[in-house]
Amino acid sequence: MDKLSAIEILSKLILGIDSNTGEKFPDDSPYNDINTIRALHYAIMELSKKRVKDVKHKTEPNEYIFTSTQEELFKILMEWRNVQVKKFKKPSCYIQESSIKKIVKYGVRDIDNIKYINGMGIFRVRKFGQEIIRIIDKFHNGIIEDIVSGSIELEPKKEPIAKLFVKKSAHLLPENAGKDWTTTEEKEVLEAFTSGVTILQIANNHKRTEGSIQSRLMKLGKI
């Protein structure tokens, strides 16, 4: 088993998901225990550190030295990025140039690996992942004319992207997903987590995703 596969399984366990069946563990499962969740987070961080260290050691010196083919793909993806930030009225950092560079340099060809690119995250992968992969596939198949402008239809795939993370009954993000955090909300999340409230309950109470709650707790040094 490779590191990415191990991280994927551990991530599902943190969410209380059976990695084999996709079913939720019962509330009294040991996987829903706070200490177990912390241990799983620690394992993921250790695996990630090793993975990032390996990648950095091997590729960082030439990270942005592209072949002519990579340079062409990078320009296409950057043109697509510029269209997206204009469409959604976001700053250019909404989809970081460095993330696009890594997608090209590391030869990402499937959506499962995009979520490990720094700066993407689950929210952006859900929103843009399929389209990025479709552009890359069309590029490598020689279909590059007007790929960004839209004359080549980027038809939606049948399988929902959400299945790569958690199969939810409705593929809609919570009301507060992606919104800025306030000091007050952070304090409430910390108090709830410290008192033993599960991450799922905290996410429901704050109308955010479980992943965002976990990320915030990690950023605050509580996991």
Q: Do residues 84 and 131 both lie within one domain? A: yes
171 in any annotated domain: no
> Cβ distance 64 to 105 under 8 Å?
yes
Output the average pLDDT for the chain.
76
Smallest CA-to-CA distance from 32 within 48, 18, 42 is with 18
Reported as a single tens digit per residue, the pLDDT across 74-106 is: 999 999 999 988 888 888 888 999 889 888 887
**Percent of residues, the chain, with pLDDT higher than 70:** 78
Q: Do residues 91 and 120 both lie within one domain? A: yes
- Flag whether pLDDT at 155 surpasses 60: no
Q: Do residues 197 and 132 both lie within one domain? A: no
Which residues lie closer than 8 Å to 171 by C-beta, 6 or more apart? 160, 162
Q: Do residues 193 and 149 both lie within one domain? A: no
Q: Do residues 107 and 155 both lie within one domain? A: yes
Domain assignment of residue 152, given as a range: 68-164
Lowest mean pLDDT among 161-165, 189-193, 217-221: 161-165
Residue 181: helix, strand or coil by DSSP?
coil
158 in any annotated domain: yes
pLDDT at 49: 57
176 in any annotated domain: no
pTM of this prediction?
0.41
Q: One-letter amino acid identity for 76? A: I
Q: Do residues 147 and 76 both lie within one domain? A: yes
